[in-house]
Structure 1
């Protein structure tokens, strides 16, 4: 019997229905010689520093760098029950092989392998690698299962990514938090250089000084021709005065036929960019919508960085295009002869091909889809039509006129064949997109010939200002992340940029959640703390180029062209150098984040932390442990403690707390601390972990 492990319950159910595992059990399904179960995202994660040594429990400079000799993993508490189900199934005597059916990518490989290894499973492993949840794709995938060993290098790449993030993130965060003595300064392998790009753009905008300039114009025969930039109004008026009522001669009129090739198909990043530009969706929202469409079998696998289909998909693409015209996704009555070969290129398909709709759109009732999902599916469908459409053709005219001894320029543009833009225009009309229109669009010029003259010139002067760089939107930030470091890399580099298509949305959300970036309408702006953080961090942790180099190296590890040892050796050396180089800062620098003499050290000491021995001090938002060890010193039994109660609890004394909440109302009790205990809960999909007092209750004697 084979055990099939998917990444999510919804995917497991679809696989189970296809291979006949219909009988529901606790945490899995069974039938037709197969057991199908699932992970719930990452069930196993890297252990925190305090699992390695007592020294690493404390946030001190002396404990750095933290570089584990033997990496440890632990089971996540809130999903431990499902891990237990998988472990028992892996050791079930009926099971003779295991199929990894998690998402077909780097993180999916990591999710499965860590469970497989943590459970101590040594049964033969095979890999299901599919790009669609359609029944035909699942059946074909099971008919062509690959040996698990084929993906050992992908697993090593995933381990490198996970460990590098741990080393850079935890060492960097602790180092700069300890040095600056204020709020937690979070450092991340990808998020910090992303923040660096935002801060650099904000600095350029803040330092920008707008400059005024003028242009003189002549108006003749429906043509508005202008000079270049003139720095003073007086000079512009002199030019206009010399031409008023005079004669203008066309000295040149050059026509040129131009074309815009159809766009490529969507990978995840370009889909996220367009969805932000056209609908205002965040990158994370777009990923959630397209992931849902994938699980509903309506779109292919979303976490891809390829914009092509493989050479054997020509008939599939034709069939999908027919299905698009037959569905509610497209209602324009057009004749269309798609050029499918434009989007076929197996050499440019990495783990997965571009995102396209599936044939299921012909059968499904798309009107029942939530509106955001229908918009994304329509966008993906429209892109397939655009990508296989005809070139957009237009003609440009550039004319030069002479008048009063001065030269004027005019340009125009006229469309001769709309081509693929017919589909784009139809889509924008149908969905009333929010895209900002370009105000500088050129109009068609009247027919001009060299030597042509115009009499009695009318003139005018226009006033202009230089404009600063634009703030990043999520669209332009995703583009910058994708291209980071590209100018310094050759065309043969496998992967460029910060992060992967699958991780960029989470990086942006993390920066917002940590308070370093804020959204204002469509703009992404660094906060004051974000600006400060980048000013104090060294280039080695905020360099987009360095992080892009790492991302490319991870891709080479996945292909077996770069060793895991070499990659991790480079990361470890960087972390060691970072700690040795940055060992102290001035009191003035400490005060940047509320530390130094005026900040964290100014708090009133209430006692020693029962978890790590650090000072517990009174801060702006209540008492806390200076070592940020996760101990909740300000609450017990759900009640907020006063300063005197905290002091008493820290000294291990019996402490009276009134107004505790119980099932039958409130009550008073003495809390007697007897050590500490860990806790965890999930809020907004995130696991919150920490430590709290372990107490024994003693009730006051009732008065007679």
Structure 2
């Protein structure tokens, strides 16, 4: 009796099938070796649009809010229905006794599988494949140690809560503020607090006032000693006059050996941050590159929040590190060290360990990889070699100098042991990056003895200006998202910050797609629409602390410490309160969103209430973020030898239906009359025929 294996993507299913011996290809699945291996295409089943609950929700009206389903409904993604039907048929096969969930081993993978399983009304036992690598050995071991699906019920509940909470907050708040202020204002449970971080930084920059500062300095031959930074130029100048041409004395010389420990291994967020700093990659690009490497069996599972490995990996680590180092051409002249204990900690690994290269990486033709994937793989590989390396040690010298009754200080560093920096510097050199270490900021000082006299020194005043806060890059925004609200969270909170490592990239992309921010080089620049949105939003949907608390509670649901019902009751109550407290637009902000003149408008958008205008190829909502579009050459009309004209489009968006004569039937070759009904799902604009008797042609 075969077991049905369902993977998240076709490429993953093919890799699993190769290990299981499922070589016979069918339509939508592979079979053989006692298994049937099939796949999803990401989310095959999604939360239904509001109109599925009541047709009146097809139009955006404040009076209909809040929309809080008593019983959640789901719908098949229209463009993926064929594969969903294949999976449903496979689940119903009498010879299939169990279903193996082989979707990605995380919250979202669990949700993708369970929604399909439940939508198909399957009741067969679930087994869970939980692996961190797509290597053949890892897949084989995973199937040898399949888990009971019951163990992941709480993970599914947390995933479902996240999905439903985002639907409730996003849909209700977006409709509410869009209708109130006459422009599409996309609001999200994580997106809006992230936008608030950008807005807050922009406000700090706007409020910044540049101020000069002055630093008295003594030039002591081979080095310079500096006095205190001060705001008063006259005071600094008086110190210069008092010291210029006088003798100076080394009052004290302190030498201390210090060290910098090796960096931790990468989790997804730290990998995205370093890739942005070093290569300028967006968070989404880094995730895509790393996911591709995972599917090519070259690195481990990317969507992790851990920076450590588990104890069972310690024995194989030395061989992996040596092989990985040897595979990188820029590491040929250096030999890695090995201290596995620095990266092993079971208590700091939850679902997945840190991102590291696999044992397949040294055997692969790395030159054939796309540049982006190769750069990320090298970044991950070098970090592994660094993380098990020796400390970087240096000698720090602090010299205190007295002159004219004033004190000055000089600091210097000298490298004693390069340690892990040797490997990082080899990588940077290969990229033609400037190699830096701590001694560049504070170069070594010459030998100075306590009491040493410096004769007739030259004194000067160095002038500078205070610097404004820097705009966010994806590196610094990811850091801010990760730590948002952390100082106010309990010390034992398992998840802090905004979003998860797996979702932060998509949040940043959505801010840009919605027109709230844009990229300029590495910087994220806030746009007026984003500033205005945050101005009108209440703290309940833009507070980083509140959203961080929700993320913590989702983790509690995952652990079984909080019921899913309790979490959703809190979200529903917050959503109802939001609608109740913002029934009218705030006159203070009305000028931020002026109404667009009607002009050539043919009617009001059924989604957001703004104007729909005629374009060359169709009829479109004036706010492109809304996405409502009726194409003149839509297949529905072209098959019936009709073209969507202005009069017909206006009737459809006004009444939702229009009578049309002379529609062509491809079945009979004759024409007929019928009512065409606008069937807008909120995501797709469709049409259907109504003959009054329920029959359709």
Please give the per-residue CA displacement for 1:79-120, whole angstroms capped at 9, x wherever unaligned.
011000000000011211110000000000000000000001
CA–CA distance in structure 1, aligned partners of residues 319 and 578 of structure 2: 55
* 1-structure distance, mates of 2:611, 2:675: 18
Matched, 1:309 2:309: yes
Work out whether residues 660 and 676 of structure 2, in 8 Å CA contact, stay in contact via their aligned partners in 1: no
What aligned pairs does 1:155-304 form with structure 2 within 5 A after superposition? 155-181=156-182, 183-304=183-304
Q: Does 1:26 align with 2:27?
A: yes
Structure 2 Cα separation of the partners of residues 614 and 399 of structure 1:
70
**Which residue does the alignment assign to 2:665?**
none
Q: Is the 8 A contact 1:605 1:615 kept in 2?
A: no
Q: Give the Cα–Cα distance (whole angstroms) in 2 for the partners of residues 640 and 232 of structure 1.
A: 76
| Secondary structure, counterpart of 1:315 in structure 2 | coil
**Which residue in 1 is equivalent to 2:668?**
none
Q: Residues of 2 paired with 1:634 and 1:365: CA distance?
A: 47
Q: Distance in 1 between matches of 2:520 and 2:436?
A: 16
Q: Name the structure 2 match of 1:46.
A: 47
CA contact (8 A) 2:194 2:544 kept: yes
Residues 284 and 616 of structure 1: is their aligned pair in 2 closer, same or farther, counting only changes over 3 Å? closer
SS at match of 2:462: strand
Is 1:529 the counterpart of 2:516? The answer is: no
Contact 2:58–2:680 (8 Å) recurs in 1:
no
Q: Which residue of 2 aligns with 1:103?
A: 104
- In structure 2, what is the Cα distance between the partners aligned to 1:569 and 1:2? 38
Partner residue, 2:684: 689
- In the TM superposition, what is the alpha-carbon distance from 1:591 to its structure 2 partner? 3.1
- Which residue is 2:77 aligned to? 76
Structure 2 match to 1:567 = 567
Superimposed CA distance per residue, residues 51-105 of structure 1 (whole angstroms, 9 cap, x where no aligned partner): 1113422211111111110000110001011000000000011211110000000
Report the counterpart of residue 667 of structure 2 in structure 1: none
SS at match of 1:380: helix
What secondary structure sits across from 1:359 in the alignment?
coil
Residue pair 2:298, 2:359 contacting (<8 A) in 1 also: yes
Number of the residue aligned with 1:432: 432
Q: In 1, Cα distance between the equivalents of 2:198 and 2:386?
A: 32
Instruction: Answer whether contact 2:114 2:156 (CA < 8 A) is retained.
Output: yes
2:415 is matched with 415
Aligned match of 2:666:
none
Q: 1:52 to 1:215 in 2, by over 3 A?
A: same
User: Deviation at 1:540?
Assistant: 1.1
Partner residue, 1:341: 341
Q: TM-score, normalized by length of structure 1?
A: 0.89
Cα distance per residue 1:130-159 (max 9 Å; x no partner): 111111111111111111101000000000
Q: Tell me the C-alpha RMSD between the 2 structures.
A: 3.0
TM-aligned CA deviation for residue 451 of structure 1: 2.1
Flag structure 2 segments of 5+ consecutive residues without an equivalent.
663-670, 692-697
Match of residue 478 from structure 2: 478
Residue of structure 2 in register with 1:400 after alignment: 400
Unaligned runs of 5+ in 1: 658-669, 681-686, 697-704
SS at structure 2 position matched to 1:373: helix
Alpha carbons 1:7, 1:41 under 8 Å: kept = yes
Q: Which residue of 2 aligns with 1:517?
A: 517
- Secondary structure of the residue that 2:314 maps to in structure 1? helix
Task: Please show how residues 540-555 of structure 1 align to structure 2 within 5 Å.
Answer: 540-555=540-555
In structure 2, the CA distance between the partners of 1:551 and 1:460, relative to structure 1 (3 Å rule), is: same
Change (3 A) 1:156 1:695: closer
Deviations 1:199-234 (A, max 9, x none): 111111111110012112111142211221232333
Rounded Cα–Cα distance in structure 1 between residues aligned with 2:658 and 2:550 = 52
> Is contact 2:13–2:38 with CA below 8 Å preserved after alignment?
yes
What residue number does 2:91 align with?
A: 90
Tell me, in whole angstroms, the C-alpha distance in 2 between the residues paired with 1:37 and 1:392. Answer: 50
Is the contact made by 1:329 and 1:381 (CA closer than 8 Å) also made in structure 2? Answer: no
- The structural deviation recorded for 1:251 is 1.9
Whether contact under 8 Å (1:280, 1:434) holds in the other structure is no
- Quote the residue 1:506 is aligned against: 506
1:62 match: 63
8 Å CA contact 2:613, 2:622 repeated in 1: no
Separation in structure 2 between the aligned mates of residue 565 and residue 594 of structure 1, nearest angstrom = 41
TM-score, normalised with respect to structure 2: 0.90
Displacement of 1:432 after TM fit? 2.4
Question: How many Å apart are 1:445 and its aligned residue?
Answer: 1.4
Deviation at 1:633, TM superposition (A): 5.9
Distance 1:422 1:203, change over 3 A: same
Quick check: 251-260 or 329-338, which moved more?
A: 329-338
Q: CA deviation at 1:325?
A: 2.8
Residue matched to 1:36: 37
Q: What is the Cα deviation at residue 482 of structure 1?
A: 0.9
Q: Secondary structure at the match of 1:326?
A: helix
Decide whether the 8 Å contact of 2:60 with 2:607 is kept in 1. Answer: no
Shift of 1:247: 1.2
Over 3 Å counting, the alpha-carbon distance change for 1:619 and 1:190 in structure 2 is farther
Q: Sort the Cα spacing of 1:81 and 1:654 in 2 relative to 1 into closer, same or farther, 3 A.
A: closer
The match for 1:660 is none
Q: Give the direction of change, closer, same or farther, for the CA distance of 1:692–1:234 in structure 2 (3 Å limit).
A: farther
- The residue number in structure 2 matching 1:702 is none
How far apart, CA to CA, are the structure 2 residues paired with 1:373 and 1:208?
40
Give the whole-Å Cα distance in 1 for the aligned partners of 2:92 and 2:648.
51
CA apart distance, 1:509: 0.6
State how 1:313-462 maps to structure 2 within 5 Å.
Answer: 313-328=313-328, 330-433=330-433, 441-462=441-462
Q: Could you report, residue by residue, the CA deviation over 1:356-414 in whole angstroms, capped at 9, with x for unpaired residues? A: 11111232222211121111111111001100000111122222212112221211121
Partner of 1:684: none
* CA deviation string 1:416-437 (max 9, x = no partner): 1111110110110112248999
For 1:44 and 1:590, locate their aligned partners in 2 and report how far apart those are by CA, in whole Å: 39
Equivalent pair of 2:325/2:336 in contact (CA under 8 Å): no
Deviation at 1:562, TM superposition (A): 1.2
State how far apart, in whole Å, the 2-side matches of 1:616 and 1:442 are: 61
Q: CA separation in 2, counterparts of 1:121 and 1:254?
A: 73
Q: 1:317-350, CA deviations, whole angstroms, 9 ceiling, x for partnerless residues?
A: 2221121133235533223331011111111111
User: Matches of 2:233 and 2:394 in 1, distance apart?
Assistant: 36
1:196 partner SS: helix
Q: Helix, strand or coil for the counterpart of 1:171? A: helix
Q: Does 1:494 align with 2:489?
A: no
* Contact 2:213 2:464 (8 Å CA) reproduced: yes
| 1:586 positional shift | 4.4
CA offsets, 1:279-336, max 9 Å, x none? 1111111111111111111111111111000011012222211211332355332233
> 2 CA distance for matches of 1:490 and 1:615?
44
Q: Do the aligned partners of residues 435 and 175 (structure 1) sit closer, same or farther apart at CA in structure 2, a change above 3 Å counting?
A: farther
Give the secondary-structure state (helix, strand or coil) at the position aligned to 1:103: coil
> Could you say if the C-alpha distance between residues 351 and 86 of structure 1 is closer, same or farther in structure 2, counting changes exceeding 3 Å?
same
The aligned length equals 672
